[in-house]
Amino acid sequence: MLLVRPPGVYRAQEDTSLLHDVLRQRGQRGQVAGRSVLDVGSGTGALGIEAFRAGAASLTAIDLSRRSVLASWLNSRLHGIPATVLRGDLFAPVAPRRFDLVLANPPYVPAAGSSPPRHRMARCWDAGPDGRLLLDRICAGAPSVLNDDGVLLLVQSGLADEQATLEQLGEAGLVPGVLARARVPFGPVLRARAPALRARGLLGPDQVEEELVVIEARHD
């Protein structure tokens, strides 16, 4: 897929591809057709574009980064998609609207600091000491943006505790489950951070791969 990616915007990687594959499969089964879609933390807009190609009726994309908002807007137009692209913090720009399908590929890499990073690129992956700075907020807020028959599709690393995501989604009143898994070699960020993560017990002594997981959640 041809995508414009200004400096500082997250490049679609293995996590994007894994959720992209899940979306394609759902589209082939007719589970995306006619649905209203929210792509939160849209980056280049790749996931929302795939959802629209799979038959979605409407697409709204949100990102906090001005450059990502620009990229999502440009790429949606490049692919002939009339997306609404908003700048803001997670679900705040669309409240109190609700959607049939919510997509999320948030930052989830454990980092040294507990606050959001100031460096533009680090914002694409750093997510606090346990990697859950955004994941916890998405779990808590997702029910407020899902229609009664709506679905959340979220991708994260096992390093950010998938069990915590499943439990928090359940506590928020949703029914969660794992749809897909993939093991991928460490990228540059995890390779550079591996010694610190091993010292904290978040990586095994010989671990050179991370597990990515796509989680689905819906109302009971």
Range ranked top by mean pLDDT from 48-52, 119-123, 200-204, 205-209:
48-52
Are 64 and 107 in contact by the 8 Å Cβ rule? The answer is: no
Express each pLDDT in 59-96 by its tens digit: 999 999 999 999 999 999 999 999 999 999 999 999 99
Asked if the model's pLDDT at residue 115 lies above 70, the reply is: no
Task: Tell me the C-alpha distance between 43 and 209, whole Å.
Answer: 24
Q: What mean pLDDT is reported for the chain?
A: 92
Average pLDDT on 147-173 reads 96
pLDDT tens-digit readout, 164-183: 999 999 999 999 999 999 99
Residue 119: which residues within 8 A CB-CB, separation 6 or more? none
Whether the pLDDT of residue 117 is over 80: the answer is no
Please tell me the predicted confidence (pLDDT) of residue 45: 96
For residue 118, how far is the Cα from the chain centroid? Answer: 20
**What number of other Cβ atoms are within 10 A of residue 89's Cβ?**
12
Determine the angle formed by the axes of helices 46-53 and 14-28, rounding to 10 degrees: 10
The pTM assigned to this predicted structure is 0.93
Please determine, for residue 129, whether its predicted confidence score (pLDDT) is greater than 90.
no
pLDDT for 119 beyond 60 = no
